[in-house]
Amino acid sequence: MNLIAIAILAPLSMALLTMLLRRQPAALALLGAAAGLLASLGLLTDAFNGRGSELILPGLPDMPLRLVATPLTALLSTLVAVVCSLVMVYAVGYMKKDNEKVRFFATLLLFASAMQTLVLAGDWILLLSAWELIGLSSYLLIGFWYSKPGVKTAATRAFLVTRSADLGLYIATFILVTSAGSTDIAATLDTRGGLAVAAGLLLLIAAMGKSAQTPLHDWLQRAMAGPTPVSALLHSATLVAAGAILLIRTAPMLPPETLLVIGIVGGVTTVVTGLMALGESDLKRMLAASTSSQYGLMLVAVGAGVPMAALLHLIAHAAIKSSLFLGAGVFQHSRDSTVLDKLRGIGRDRPKIFSGFVLAALALAGVPPLSGFFSKDAIIAASMNSANIWILLPFALAGTLLTGSYMARALRLLWQGNGKSRSVDGLAWMGAGLAGLVFLAIILGAAFPAVESLLGARLPENSQVQFLPVVLGLSAALCGLALGWFVPVHRLLGPLLPWSRQGFAIAGGFDNLIIRPVFFIARTCEKLERLLYESVLATGRAGLRLGQAVRLNDEQGIDGIIFSFVRCMVNLGGKARTLQSGLIHKELAISIVASAMILVFMLITLLVYQ
């Protein structure tokens, strides 16, 4: 059977099986993830050997659905499968005490298959569908503990923000399909000109939604209300990666104007969310802000015209950030909270987990020889090589600096101080998953040259470790680490701290700018509704009044004429009645007069006709 089909159907069928059987969800989940992983590895091996594959399914008339395994998609598929499997292992331990394991693992598997569909999609309709379906899975997973306060708002907000941004993907799809005459993604990458600029900007909007770029970064912060494996899988490595993946795949089509905008959006995000991360008081929210920041860096790389750098960082970040989240999950179970104040000194209570956490943190900051160093270096080199060096380079360096500072701050807060930890169930599982991802975070740097050769490296000439980018990057990283470790945050951020705690909301943020006007329009429509309804009823009443007027006209008008006629007749009769006096004389007189008249008449007749 086609490996593509297995990669997608394995998790999906296990999801359905879990929902039907309602037993052994963990085992089925691991089975599904493992099967999918094997299939993806198979696709990757094929890609390395120069073989691609394709799967075509019937869709809409003249618009079939396509799944393709090119080197890029096979690589992404493997990445998704690997992170899925390791997080699944972790989740077995994390969810050990939860009552709703069936729903959890089924939804997680649903997500896995949707994500695989997304990365393997070869036509826009399937990509769009998968894009929405991962949004659905995110909604279901963020809202997993739906009775807890704040959870339903988080899930709703996440879905709505991404759905609104998805309008960009819809319209961009329509534009690209119309200009290319086909829904095949590869065919639409030849679009040029004004349409390409428009489509590119719209795709950027969609990417901003999914990858939580400013100003749409708030949903990711709130999404931390979900279980930590969800945060690790969806909201660091895969779902949020979808935005960057979209831009990386369509990079050949994006014209320079759009690339500049992408770079600026990414850069602004990096800085803004980096500052937010610095001021955060909750570990998971800090990691969420950091995720937005890192994806901002990836967008900077795309904006610099080097999507390969973004891809490398995506791969590294997937391993790194998910490890950080998995570690945070263990801390969460130990202290029943993710607030940094409550997690003081957990590093010393859980040294093994913490060491993994530290390694991942250093990797994120860009310390060699961990994987993050190579990817950060690629991004900085890319920005130095681009036409907009003076816009993109400062962003990249600022991002690196901020990364180091907030990671170091987190490490300091987790190491120093004291607190009471509980014992944690399922530590073995959680540790295993974490270890796997940390291992990847460490060694992936060595795999990058292979990746580059697989994809026909499009890194600029000085992609190898060259002097200036390395120096700049390392100094920014080390500076940041030092600042974060030694300087308390209120001195670092100073007056910006309260604003950063609000997520740098402008003019009241999303609530004020969008939600209030929308509800205002809704209420106005409702008022208009009442007005229309009342006017219809008023028309009805007017009709009734017209009926009454006609009735009055009938009764008083027409009947009146008839009755006056009758009265006239009665009057006439009354007058005629006066002849009937009852007096004999008058009767006699009348009869005599009448007879006399008759006689006269007869006489005249006789005489005339004689």
Partner 1 sequence: MYPIVSITVFLPLLGALFVLFIRKAPAQAVHGIGIVTSGLTLLGAILMWSRGVNETGFAQFEQINWMPSIGAAYRVGVDGISLPLVLLTAILFFVTFIYSARVRKQSHAFVALMLLLETASIGAFTALDAILFYVFFEVSLVSMYFMIAQWGHEDRQRAALMFFIYTFLGSLPLLLAILGLYLGSDPHTFDMRVWISNPPLEGIAAMLALVAMLITFAVKTPVFPFHTWLPAAHVQAPAAGSVILAGVMLKFGTYGLVRFALQMTPDAFREAGLVILVFGVIAALYGAFAALAQSDLKRMVAYTSINHMGYIIVGVAIAALATEPAIRATALDGSVLQMVSHGLVTGALFLLVGMLQDRAHTREMGQFGGLLKVVPMLGWSFVLAAFASLGLPGLAHFPAEFQIFLATLQVEPVAIIVILGIVITAGLYLRAIARVFLGETGEKWTTATMSDLNYRELLALGPLLVLIIVLGIAPAWVLDIIHKTTSALQL
Partner 2 sequence: MGPELVIALIAGAALFGVGIYGALSQTNLVMIMMGVELVLAGAMVNMLAFWRYLHPDNPAGQMFVLIIMTVMAIEMSVGFGVAIARFRAKGSVEMEEAAELKG
- Over the window 98 to 137, marking each residue x when it contacts partner 1 by CB under 8 A and - when it does not, the resulting string is ---------------------------x--xxx-xx--x-
Binding mask 558-577 for partner 2 (x = CB under 8 A): -------------------x
- Give all strands (DSSP E) within 375-425, no chain letters: none
User: Does 594 help bind partner 2 (rule: CB under 8 A)?
Assistant: no
Q: Which two tokens stand for residue 28?
A: 């089925």
Please say whether the beta carbons of 184 and 122 come within 8 A: yes
**What SS3 class is residue 55?**
strand
Q: x/- string (CB under 8 A) for partner 2, residues 524-563?
A: ----------------------------------------
Nearest distance from C-beta of residue 570 to partner 2, angstroms: 14
**Measured distance CA(394)–CA(300) in Å, rounded:** 11
Q: Which is nearer to partner 1, 522 or 568 (CB)?
A: 522
Instruction: Give the integer Cα–Cα distance in Å for 224 and 498.
Output: 20
- Nearest distance, CB of residue 83 and partner 1, angstroms: 23
Distance CA 382, CA 307 (A): 9
Which one of partner 2, partner 1, none is in contact with 394 (Cβ closer than 5 to 8 A by kind)?
none
From the list partner 1, partner 2, none, which binds 537 (C-beta under 5 to 8 Å, kind-based)?
partner 1
User: 60 forms bridges with which residues in the sheet?
Assistant: 63
Angle of CA points 210, 213, 217, to nearest 5°:
85
Least distance CB 65 / partner 1 (angstroms): 10
Q: Which residues contact 48 (CB under 8 A, 6 or more apart)?
A: 454
Q: Which of 50, 585, 609, 610 touches partner 2 by CB under 8 A?
A: 585
**How many whole angstroms separate alpha carbon 330 and alpha carbon 233?**
15
Q: Alpha helix (H) ranges present in 211-282?
A: 218-222, 228-232, 241-250, 256-279
Tracing tokens 């005599």 back to the chain, one arrives at 592
Query: Least CB distance from residue 549 to partner 2, whole Å?
Result: 43
Among 27, 522, 596, 600, binds partner 1 (CB under 8 A): 522
- Size (the chain), residues: 610
User: Is residue 55 a contact residue for partner 1 (CB under 8 A)?
Assistant: no
Under rule CB under 8 A, residue 218 binds partner 1: no
Residues 6+ apart with CB under 8 A from 211: 240, 241, 242, 243, 244, 292, 295, 298, 299
Helix axes 283-303, 256-279, angle to 10 degrees: 160
State the minimum distance, in angstroms, from the CB of residue 518 to partner 1.
7
Q: What is residue 57's three-state secondary structure?
A: strand
Q: Per-residue contact track with partner 1, 134 to 173, x per CB under 8 A?
A: --x--x---x--xx-x-xxx-xx--xx--xx--x--xx--
User: Using the rule CB under 8 A, which residue among 1, 507, 525, 583 binds partner 2?
Assistant: 583
* Binding of partner 1 by 182 (CB under 8 A): no
498 binds partner 2 (CB under 8 A): no
Indicate which of partner 2, partner 1, none lies near residue 566 (CB less than 5 to 8 Å, by partner kind): none
Whole-angstrom Cα distance, residue 101 to residue 313?
33
Q: Least distance (Å) from partner 2 to the CB of residue 599?
A: 12
Binding track, positions 540-569, relative to partner 1; x by CB under 8 A: x-----------------------------
Closest approach of Cβ 536 to partner 1, in Å? 5
CA angle 113, 1, 242 (to 5 degrees): 25
Handedness of CA 28, 34, 39, 43 (dihedral sign): positive
As a whole number of angstroms, the distance between CA 60 and CA 180 comes to: 17
Whether residue 169 contacts residue 135, with contact meaning beta carbons closer than 8 Å, is answered with: no
Q: Answer with the entry of partner 2, partner 1, none that 268 interacts with (C-beta below 5 to 8 A by kind).
A: none
Q: Are strands 63-69 and 53-60 parallel, antiparallel or unpaired?
A: antiparallel
When binding is defined by CB under 8 A, the residue of 423, 467, 582, 609 that contacts partner 2 is 582
Structure tokens at 46: 């094929």
Among 1, 50, 58, 583, binds partner 1 (CB under 8 A): 58
Does the footprint of partner 1 cover residue 336 (CB under 8 A)?
Answer: no
Which positions touch partner 1 (CB under 8 A)? 58-62, 125, 128-130, 132-133, 136, 139, 143, 146-147, 149, 151-153, 155-156, 159-160, 163-164, 167, 170-171, 174-175, 177-178, 518-519, 521-526, 528-529, 532-533, 536-537, 540
Which positions touch partner 2 (CB under 8 A)? 577, 579-585, 588-589, 592
